[in-house]
Structure 1
Amino acid sequence: MSWQENLINKLAMKEKIVYMVYDPFGLCFEPAIAKKIAESGVFFGDVNDSISLRLIFEEWADSFVHNALLIRISDKNQYIPFDIMRTAIKVDFHIDKFIPCLDSDVLGLIDSQHYQYLMDVTSAYRVGKLNYLDSMDFILRHIYKIAPEIIQTDVDLIRLLIRKHYLGIEMPQAIERRLISILSMQAKFKEWDFTRLIPNRAEFFTFLQRQWAFYLETQVFDNEIRRSLQSDEHLIVPFDDHDIRVFVDNLFADGILKAIEFEGLSETHWAWVGVIGDNQCSDFLRFEHLLTKLEKIFSNPDGNLFNEGFWGEVSQESGVLNANSYLLMDKLCDANKERLIQVNNNINRYFETWLLNSFGRLISTPSINNPNMVHKIPAWLAQKIHQGEKVCLLVMDGMGFQQWTRIKSCLAELNNIRFEESFSFAWVPTITSISRQALFSGKRPQLFSESLLTTDKEAALWRSFWDDQGLMQNEITFEKKVEKNATLESFTDLFHSPSLKAIGFVINFIDEQMHGMKAGMSGLNAVLDNWLKTWGFSLKINALIDFGFTVVVTSDHGNQEAVGEGWKNEGVKAETKGERVRLYRQPVNYSSDNENVLEWPAKKFGLPSDIYPLVSKGHHAFIQSGKKVVGHGGISLHEVVVPFVTITRRNDAKESEF
């Protein structure tokens, strides 16, 4: 019997029983256990407030399904209503007895998906009982593949940092601190500021960008002169090393590092990859690099690699790829256009299948460093405020990664800020009233069922969240249609009060433009570029930072270019008729022959029990056949996975005047 079966067998899932599962290690989310729970048909609740718990309990009690209700708690002090507590059978899920050689506090830091591997490797190596620090080091070596004792040179170090940040390896802060402590003990690395470079992706790539400029300077003079240059004294990254060069090529092609203006480099030098030349040529090279990379990944993908981090990275890269394709559309041959269509179709096909199987787990799974779903963003912001920061949540309604690529280019003129780019998952159906209310309230949609199809309650939900966090009303503000404040003065009037700590802003421009856009995605991106300049987007972001705010730019949902396939009258009135979604208040009979329409399991996935959505897959739209549209509501990658970007002042930049 496997350890997963050992735990699952504690539960009679086909009996109408309430189980209170104390699960401090997140074992309910371990892949094999999560699959068993999902397949059993049990009601599963992983909730942090009694109202949510009450809704789940009453829904289960009133149902005719004779399956168990599992209530997962991670804290035994969590309040549970007495009548629910009284009826529940208490069960403990602990990992200690299955991995006894590692410190339980360290095990509690890492994702439960790693536990099976740790059992295998500790058994294979016959590991004895390890203390807290030794357990940390064991995790570093075997989970994150980092052996600090063999990092002896600058090349080793850069290879580690690029692998961590380029591949998006996230590790708990306590384990990062352990890595920093070990590396800082080595005198040879005294020039390296690990406290900034290891935890912070944006800080590392800003550092690498500056180092690139120093490196280029060293390539245009002979060795004797070069040794006297001040830039050479500051150059500590060995870019000429073969292993580093391979990474650098990819970093420039992916747009993570930016090519710079430079003269004097020999024509055959490899460093031209990071020097500004023919812009269109550079765009095409990046397009070809990303297209080939994604083709390779999705020609025969390993489904075991599919998780939210994988799809977040794919969304970012394919966003850059597609944004570049519209800039190059007149220059792309038919074969390249067909390759792009095919890779987008493959990505969506795999993503949509994964999402249907994983969305329930995603709702409940704790985030590591950044919120993995939009309803978890307010709690993440609250941590910032409790640490003494002021935050502005700027929601760009309808923004996907294609549009973020354009916005990021606009912000490049601000050389005193840094980005921390990540992603978050929108709620499905991907419509404003559902996902944006979840974003501002910090709640699942089933908890605001009365306002599900309107946005009129957003300000109240935002203020209610911060009231629960202990903020005063004069420390909170909320404003929609911020783009109507065209001048810098009128914009800063929205947040000039020194008492403000939590700002909620909505910019509706992208969403409003997409619904009337006849020129498709290329037209949407073009009008966005123009608006960013005329509205002065970068100046307004800079003003927020000057006033001391950490700015978080995100979206309630993205968008998808689609083609109408028509839709027959179902005989039932739809509550909402979007281009990519239909919402009903009762079950609908529809032809299952249409493989591009999916009945989304709303009740299972956190929506009110009286909502029945039909959502679009692929490029399908519920509109006139053949008509093209940019819309949302469906489950394509670029509707669901949206940018989550933190913008702050660079540590080496001039302090604010305000």
Structure 2
Amino acid sequence: MSAWTDRILQEFPADLSRFWIACDPDDLLLDERILHGLRERGFEVLPFEDPVAFRTEYEERYRAAWDRGEEGTSKALVLQLRGTDLNTLPWDYVRMGRKVSLSLADLFPRLSYGVIRQVDSEHHEALFLAHNKHATQPLGEGATKDFILTHIFRISPYLLGGSEDFWREVLRLHYRGAGLPNLLAKHVAAILNDTPLGDLPIAELLSSKNYTVRAVQDAWGRFLAQYGIQSDRTSNDDSAEALPEVSVPFEHPDVRLITDTMFLEGTLQPVATSSSAADLPDWVRVGVVADPQSFGTLVSEGAKKIAADLPTVEATHRDWVETARRLGEVISRLNGLSTALAEPIQPQVRALQREADERLKDWIVRHYADLSSLPAAKGPVMVHHVPRYLALRRSAGEDRVALLVFDGLAMDQWVQIREHLADSIPSFSSDDSGCFAWLPTLTSVSRQALFSGLKPREFANSIEVTSKEPSLWARFWQDHGLRPSEIYFQKGLKNTGQLIELEEVISRPSTKVVGLVVDMIDEIVHGAMLGKRGIAGQIKAWCETGFVEKLVRLFADHGYQIYLTADHGNVDAEGIGRLNQGAVSEVRGERVRTYRSESLAASVPAEIDAFRFDSAGLPPDFLPVYADTRGAFVPKGDQIVAHGGASVEELIVPFVKITMTRTAT
């Protein structure tokens, strides 16, 4: 346990009270390390967001058991209030609850509160140690910025004297997934404004990984032109966000080391060329694909890099999202190889997938229950956070929002579609991230959560069907102030013929939010005969019909901010034996079975390689049993593509912000 976690947990002595009220304006409790520490002590944290939903959960899961003298779901419940005004709470809560106040201002008294509240919670632990050791007197706003840059991000803008120093730090930041908060990035830009670096878009490069990758990708194309190698594609043509032509010192050893890794893991895309420059240095070849064999080497080396850096049980959810993204890039590249090149590499990648799945399974047991309570202000952590995040984006000025849910889309399949869009639309740009689906990763569970903004226990009556999705989507947005005429929902999109009717609806000035289900991927998956490599070929053919680029162009042309995600992914699986239980199981997926009682869930034969894991957000009478590792409840040895389980490729799905210019009219 860290000093930071101990400092927060000391506010909650065990056995002092069953019901606590934490005034927490900075969401300190909604940090996965804090949540895990509280859970280990028997405390459950429940944010007070919807008074009706909170009371329902409080009465059913906690108070009823406590009144009977039982422990209930947990020993104690902490109501997390995002503020300090207790008058916003029901009187009976205030009367019964033991009050605790937590704030960054109290925990970092010698730093500027306005600055430290911009720092992500993952840095609080390091900042707490640095504050206690090095902050010997109160610091103003500017000095606090310098303090954080020095002690947390290991950057001193006053020492960035040359281009090599600057680009080394920019790439190092983004490779570690730790871009600077906007406030700090602008501070560095102001300091460097009067230096030779002042012509660069410093703030954007330091804060946005997406912007930096696009700029570096363009710079790589121009760098290769020195050797007579022309890039077929750059991201700068008519870009939705104009990129200056920056010069990156790729020859510098520190810069070269990071860019090598970014090419291997798929963050940067190597340039395909039919010609080979005789004087091309060996270190440059990682970013050039002159023949199919070199692409196979790239896949193999990328898999090695990921295998050496798999998250541990103590990792954060961000670590797992980044691993899923990197793995998706490698799998997509593998599926794009010819059979002759892919076959020697497949055992290596399969071993990586199995090891990643085993580690994720161990991590889920300890941390999955904490994810649903994490804040969604900077991006959804789980799929049911997506509507809330979109509502925040509308409040921030994105008046028209489109959510495209590609049913069953795995991370590697998004990579394939993304590359097709980038080739087809010069102005296309995507800011790629990911979020966790709900377990079990079934459409009726996870997709309903995605469109409703609710945990599955909150739609228990419809958890086995999807027919309620339109009304759940409408109810969420009406609760956020929109009229029915401003909300649209449609399922079953898959071909260009359907876009004429869609355009008629989304072109209306009154339409503000659109939720769509694009279900072609799921249909392909359920009919797959040749595994995920075969699916990649079918997705390629589907993309070539022009549907996907016409869909995103349509929304861009009508002024929508486009977000794309999935309800679950899919995975190659092997049969471990059928479960011949008749009507005992309520939901029968190839990777999961669900039951309505403990006795029925326990009826799975012992010789079947399966395991139990009950998610906290599921209804109490909805009990899943999962096929272990990459198994499926089909005849032994059968090879299928399926979903429902807890593998990396099923559980962590893309969450993407798509940006592009409107088509001239």
Report the TM-score when normalising by structure 2: 0.88
* Equivalent residue number for residue 240 of structure 2: none
Determine which of 535, 556, 559 is the counterpart of 1:545: 556
Deviation, 1:617, is: 3.5
Count of matched residue positions in the alignment of Structure 1 and Structure 2: 636
Structure 1 residues 615-634: aligned runs within 5 Å: 615-634=626-645
State the AA in 1 paired with 2:63.
Answer: A
Corresponding position of 1:293 = 305
Instruction: Return the match for 2:281 from 269, 284, 295.
Output: 269
Query: What is the rounded CA distance, in whole Å, between the counterparts of 1:48 and 1:238 in structure 2?
Result: 49
Of stretches 185-194 and 413-422 in structure 1, the one that deviates more from structure 2 is 185-194
1:27 is matched by which residue type in structure 2?
A: L
Other-structure match for 1:186: 194
Aligned position for 1:205 = 213
CA drift of 1:586 comes to 1.4
SS in structure 2 opposite 1:534?
coil
2:176: which partner in 1? Answer: 167
2:236 matched residue in structure 1: none
Q: Which moved more, 1:506-515 or 1:616-625?
A: 616-625
Secondary structure at 1:35 match in 2: helix
1:87 CA drift (Å): 1.9
C-alpha change, 1:32 and 1:164, in structure 2 (3 Å) is closer
Of the structure 1 ranges 582-591 and 260-269, higher mean CA displacement relative to structure 2 is found in 260-269
Q: Counterparts of 2:608 and 2:148 in 1: how far apart (Å)?
A: 44
In structure 1, C-alpha distance between the alignment counterparts of 2:5 and 2:572, rounded to whole Å: 43
Q: Where does the alignment leave 5 or more consecutive residues of structure 2 unmatched?
A: 230-243
Give secondary structure in 2 for the equivalent of 1:430: coil
Pick which of 124-133 and 636-645 moved more.
124-133
What is the distance in 2 between the residues matched to 1:111 and 1:209? 27
What do the CA deviations read for 1:54-82 (whole angstroms, capped 9, x no partner)?
12211201222162221111213474333
Of the structure 1 ranges 99-108 and 52-61, higher mean CA displacement relative to structure 2 is found in: 99-108
| Contact 1:616 1:635 survives alignment (8 Å) | no
Residue identity opposite 1:638 in structure 2: E
- Given that 2:321 and 2:434 are in contact with CA atoms closer than 8 Å, whether structure 1 keeps it comes out as yes
2:610 pairs, out of 597, 610, 619, with: 597
1:288-367 matched pairs, under 5 angstroms: 288-298=300-310, 303-304=313-314, 306-328=315-337, 330-332=339-341, 336-367=345-376
Which residue of the other structure, out of 65, 71, 79, is the alignment partner of 1:65?
71
- Report the alpha carbon displacement of residue 446 of structure 1 after superposing the two structures with TM: 2.0
CA distance in 2: counterparts of 1:168 and 1:3, whole angstroms: 22
Partners of 1:455 and 1:574 in 2: how far apart?
A: 18
Which amino acid in structure 1 is aligned with residue 602 of structure 2? N
CA distance in 1, matches of 2:171, 2:181: 18
Q: 2:412 aligns with which of 398, 402, 414?
A: 402
| Shift in CA distance, 362/56, structure 1 to aligned 2, threshold 3 Å | same
Task: Give 1:141's match in structure 2, choosing from 142, 150, 159.
Answer: 150
Contact 1:215–1:235 under 8 Å retained in 2: no
Summarize the Cα distance change of 1:553–1:2 in structure 2 as closer, same or farther, 3 Å threshold.
closer
**What code does the residue aligned with 1:543 have?**
L
Among 389, 400, 425, the residue aligned to 1:390: 400
Confirm or deny that 1:416 pairs with 2:427: yes
> Does structure 1 conserve the Cα–Cα contact (< 8 Å) formed by 2:377 and 2:389?
no
CA 1:568 to 1:277, structure 2 compared with 1: closer, same or farther past 3 Å? closer
Distance 1:656 1:358, change over 3 A: same
User: What is the alpha-carbon distance in structure 2 between the residues aligned to residue 640 and residue 354 of structure 1?
Assistant: 13
Distance change (3 Å), C-alpha of 1:52 and 1:597: farther
**Amino acid in structure 1 at the alignment position of 2:402:** C
1:226 maps to none
Q: Helix, strand or coil for the counterpart of 1:319?
A: helix
TM, length-normalised to structure 1: 0.89
- The residue aligned with 1:230 is none
Q: 1:220 to 1:112 in 2, by over 3 A?
A: closer
Alpha carbons of 1:277 and 1:116: their partners in 2 closer, same or farther (altered >3 Å)? closer
Q: What is the CA–CA distance in structure 2 between the aligned matches of 1:320 and 1:391, rounded to whole Å?
A: 27
- How far is 1:634 from its partner? 0.9
Q: Secondary structure at the match of 2:53?
A: helix
Q: What amino acid sits opposite 1:394 in the alignment?
A: L
SS for the counterpart of 2:640 is: strand
Q: Cα 1:501–1:197, aligned 2, differ >3 Å: closer, same or farther?
A: farther
- Aligned-partner SS, 2:199: coil
Deviations 1:294-314 (A, max 9, x none): 22224xx6554x212211111
Q: 1:32 to 1:635 in 2, by over 3 A?
A: closer
Match status 1:122 vs 2:128: no
Aligned-partner residue type, residue 494 of structure 2 = E
d(CA) in 1 for partners of 2:635, 2:228? 61
Moved more, 262-271 or 137-146: 262-271
| Alignment deviations for residues 195-237 of structure 1 (CA, whole Å, 9 cap, x no partner) | 443333222222222222332334459xxxxxxxxxxx95532
Partner of 2:53: 52
Secondary structure in 2 matching 1:530? helix
Amino acid at match of 1:57: Y
3-state SS of 1:645 partner: strand
CA contact (8 A) 1:363 1:373 kept: yes
Q: Is the 8 A contact 1:491 1:540 kept in 2?
A: no
Alignment-derived partner of residue 232 in structure 2: none
Q: Does the CA-based 8 Å contact 1:570-1:589 persist in structure 2?
A: no
Alignment CA distance shift 1:339-1:593 (3 Å): farther
Cα distance in 1 for residues equivalent to 2:288 and 2:636: 47
8 Å CA contact 1:44–1:71 kept in 2: the answer is yes
Partner of 2:22: 21
In the alignment, which residue of structure 2 is the partner of 1:85? Answer: 94
Sort the Cα spacing of 1:583 and 1:220 in 2 relative to 1 into closer, same or farther, 3 A: closer
Residue identity (%): 28
Contact 1:581 1:633 survives alignment (8 Å): yes
CA distance in 1, matches of 2:416, 2:641: 17
Greater mean deviation of Cα atoms: 492-501 or 473-482: 492-501
Which residues of 2 match residues 210-289 of structure 1 at below 5 A?
210-219=218-227, 236-258=247-269, 259=271, 261=273, 265-270=277-282, 271-278=284-291, 280-289=292-301
Residue 490 (structure 1) shift: 4.4
Pick closer, same or farther for the CA change 1:8–1:308 going to 2, 3 Å. Answer: closer
Q: Deviations over 1:478-523 (max 9, x none)?
A: 1101115536534533422233221111111111221222222122
1:45–1:208: structure 2 CA closer, same or farther, 3 Å change rule? same
> Counterpart of 1:287 in structure 2: which amino acid?
V
Q: CA deviation at 1:36?
A: 3.3
